[in-house]
Structure 1
Amino acid sequence: MAHIRIFGDRIAIGCNEVLYIFSRQTLQTERRLEIGEMIRDRGLDKNGPYSTSAERQILGLAFSPSGNYICCLTSAKVALVFSVQENFYLHCQPIRLPKAPTAVVFDNKEENIIVSDRAGNVNRFEVKRQPVTYPEGKKWMDINGEEYNIPFHALLGHMSMVLDMCLSEDNQFILTADRDEKLRVSRYPQAYIIDHFCLGHESYVKSIQTFRKGAFTSGGDSVIRAWNLITGKCIAHSERLSEDPVRHLRILGDEDSIIRIAVAFEKSNVVKTLIFNGPENIFVEDTIFKAPENIFDLAYHPDGILFVLTTKNAYQVSSKGEFISFDGPYGENRLIRLLEEDLKISADPIEKLEKNVAFNNMEEYLQRKEERKEKRKRKHEGEEEPKKLDV
């Protein structure tokens, strides 16, 4: 899995187990942080030896609202928060996560990160500069009553996997999208108050973007829906954009509520852009671009430039639709070859997001069971045998 995020003059790319920081102006690498090594050096990798590239991934990435911090979620169930102003040193102690994460966001005060996970839960974690000491034996409980030794505050839970999550711009609402075709709008931080279930998608909801009091969603049905967060109503929807599911959508709005939308699709090199006319509530298809390789992620800079991350490289898209690679316009980038290698071995942790509702899935169940047994066996074989005591 690979991600690209932009804030100010910095472009952050997370892929494999590595975080890259690029300059927006020169497209040159400023930092390369070995996230996997940091976790292993601190003894935080409790999952045993990795067997596939899908188990060595950065699963989420987010800048804080001020751009002073960046949070990185990992497949080792650890969140790392770095201080951008302090040369990307760790801002606080690594944060243990109870389940494998899917998305992360900072609140506006930048005192907490909010993390969604594959179990359908959304939890809040304090971002403290100084370690907090808790009473010995203290337990924390998730939304289902399961106890952990990890400090967190349970916000809400879904019956299925949460695929994306974000806060509204004013932090009044927390939006969660799941595998069961719905967008849920809850109060924040009183997330037990559910304002709306936004229904209408015919498949899983994979990507959410917010703008003022509205939101845009898409996913498996390849249709973009625009929602009013106050009423919970769908105010507009696009035509089906592709036979392929939507992987990510990104938006760029202006003061007149004319919103530019860029869409990437699963296992595809196509980028479609649309214009959403806010005053008239209509979608208009704009342009179609084709990247050199299949697309992992994409992001808008506030100046309107689109950046695309593919399975091989990162690109800036010109107004003519030309893909300018990060090692192209300003000379050889000494670390771009490492980025290419990390992108090659990046993989999605979940291959199929469509739910299997058939009754003849026993063979698939048995296969998953055998895979779990093999994984546990490898884990135990990697542990040292306990020493025998002399009697």
Structure 2
Amino acid sequence: MTAVGFCGHWFLFTYETKLVAVHTKQSREPFVFDCSSAEKKPKTSKADSNSDGGPSEEAGSDRVLAFAVSSSGKLLALTDDTKRLVLFQCEPSWRCVSVRWVVRRCTSLVFSQAEDELLVADKSGDVYSFSVGEPQRGGELKMGHLSMLLAVTMSPDDKYIITADRDEKVRVSCHRSPYSIQSFCLGHQQFVSALQIPSGHPHWLLSGSGDGTVKLWEYESGRRLQSWDLGQLEEAMCPQADKERQNPAVCRVSSSPDGRHVAVLCERVSAVQFFLLDEVDEKKLVPHSRLCLPHCPLDLSFDLEGRLWVLLDSSDAPLQIHTLRQNSWQCDPENSDLSRVTEAFRPHWKTLDASTRTNSRFEHLYKESYDNVTSYLQKKQQRLEEQQLKRTKTQKTNDNKRLKETSAAGTQP
């Protein structure tokens, strides 16, 4: 997974098997962690390896699948394709705290607000809880779903676990008793790929989907407050846009530290859609502007100062910083923080295979629709025509037979 984020003032970048952290304010040595050289899982018997009752999985590739940062910015966790779960301490210096193992490959991670628990969602639909205070303790099954999980987050008061799955659902479960479902947020037409509780709005939830929409929810009640079709917004803001293109999947929803601005990124779209959040306005999620980019963005993240960092699929200028000035998001190419990060970041970017950067993360998640009714009606019509033809032939045969019998009777003396 090629992704960016922030852990305090550390700029984070994951690609292939590596995590790279570069300090944006100080000339400190970058931290690099390579999963391919990390601790290997101890070999167990075949019976032990399948003790969870599920089928065994093929060996992993050590590729980083997801990472999460704690609210204080002092802890980071990542998971990879070999089913490692690695916990790091970021301040005062980087240190690998533990390497644990998950049952299934994971899709999303989140720390509790109290930073005593790490929740891990996996592709089989389960959520496991891992202790932060006891970094060597194994995971505990917290809750299960009937569909692949794509995102997980927690309410700011740690009261609810919020999960999103391939079956278009957002589920809100009670943290202390996950079998008790508080609500469902229903309305997406495809898989839900992104969740975000915006800063300063603890009762709201933003969700992005493969149907090309962003929705705002009051998640405790499951009430939908607003919905925007990004394809229609693109058409309104950019009339020259390709109208024949299918709505692309939302791959990132990020909110600024003050909770006023929301940036939405869609897969393989060379633009970022900005929204404003306002509790006073009747329309609580309001389109603000659309930022067109010179290359396709791969990921984005706000830093602590409210600047938007965008990772581009470009070998010349892979990183950009955008700052809000006079109600417009403007690129700041001469920024000293950007120069510091780019210098340390570029050697790693050059080694990244271009095909890895451009591969779709969501292509296999779309559900195929089948028009069974049309097929049924066509087969029925064909069957009726065959039956009619058979009846016609039978009737003709019978008529000929009667004609022959009548002719034979007429010739007898």
Q: Once the two structures are superposed, what CA deviation does each residue of 1:111-150 show, in whole Å capped at 9, x if it has no partner?
A: 2210001111111112345645xxxxxxxxxxxxxxxxxx
- TM-score normalised by the chain length of structure 2: 0.73
The residue aligned with 1:21 is 21
State whether residues 168 and 186 of structure 2, in contact with CA within 8 Å, keep that contact through their aligned partners in structure 1.
yes
Q: Does 1:57 align with 2:63?
A: yes
Contact 2:8 2:72 in 1 (8 A): no
TM-score (norm: length of structure 1): 0.76
Structure 2 residue aligned with 1:387: none
Q: Tell me what 2:347 maps to.
A: 337
Structure number having the greater helix percentage: 2
Asked if the contact 1:222/1:245 (under 8 Å) is kept, the reply is yes
Offset, 1:315: 2.6
Equivalent residues in 2 for 1:128-207 (5 A)? 128=133, 131-132=136-137, 151-207=138-194
Cα distance per residue 1:290-320 (max 9 Å; x no partner): 3343222211123210011233433322445
SS of 1:280's partner is coil
- Report the CA distance between 1:10 and its aligned residue: 1.2
Q: Does 1:237 align with 2:227?
A: yes
Following the alignment from structure 2 to structure 1, what is the Cα–Cα distance between the partners of residues 182 and 82? 34
Q: Which residue of 2 aligns with 1:102?
A: 107
Quote the Cα distance in structure 2 between the aligned partners of 1:315 and 1:107. 31
Cα shift at 1:218: 1.2
- Give, in angstroms, the shift of residue 7 of structure 1: 3.0
SS of the equivalent of 1:224 reads: strand
Shift of the alpha carbon at 1:165? 0.6
Larger radius of gyration: 2
Deviates more, 1:289-298 or 1:71-80: 289-298
Q: CA 1:323/1:100 → structure 2, altered by over 3 Å: closer, same or farther? A: farther
Shift of 1:229: 2.3
Amino acid at match of 1:5: G
Q: Which amino acid aligns with 1:266?
A: E
| Structure-2 change in CA distance of 1:33 and 1:41 (3 Å) | farther
CA contact (8 A) 2:172 2:181 kept: yes
Whether the 8 Å CA contact 1:327–1:333 is kept in 2: the answer is no
RMSD: 2.9
- Tell me which residue corresponds to 1:248: 252
Stretch moving more, 171-180 or 242-251: 242-251
Confirm or deny: 8 A CA contact 2:118 2:131 kept in the other structure: yes
User: 1:68 and 1:26, CA in 2 relative to 1: closer, same or farther beyond 3 A?
Assistant: closer
Higher alpha-carbon deviation: 245-254 or 61-70:
245-254
Conservation of the 8 A alpha-carbon contact between 1:2 and 1:343 = no
- Tell whether the 8 Å contact from 1:185 to 1:194 is kept in structure 2 after alignment: yes
- Residue among 331, 346, 353 paired with 1:322: 331
Alignment of 1:296-311 (within 5 A): 296-311=298-313
What's 2:218 paired with? 228
Deviations for 1:52-103, whole angstroms, at most 9, x for unmatched residues?
xxx44211111112222110111111110011125322112x1101011000
Letter matched to residue 337 of structure 1: P
SS at match of 2:38: helix
Larger relative contact order (Cα-Cα within 8 Å, sequence gap ≥ 6): 1
| SS of residue paired to 1:336 | helix
Task: Give how far 1:253 is off.
Answer: 5.8
Cross-structure match for 2:266: 265
* Bigger mean CA deviation after superposition, 260-269 or 19-28: 19-28
Task: List runs of 5+ in structure 1 lacking aligned partners.
Answer: 133-150, 361-391
Distance in 2, matches of 1:86 and 1:209, equals 28
Q: Which amino acid aligns with 2:330?
A: G
Contact 1:114 1:123 in 2 (8 A): yes
1:279-294 superposed matches below 5 A: 279-282=280-283, 283-294=285-296
Aligned pairs, number: 333
Task: Tell whether the 8 Å contact from 1:248 to 1:297 is kept in structure 2 after alignment.
Answer: yes
Counterparts of 1:176 and 1:166, CA distance in 2:
7
Q: Secondary structure at the match of 1:296?
A: strand
d(CA) in 2 for partners of 1:83 and 1:215? Answer: 28
Cα offset, 1:32, TM superposition? 1.8
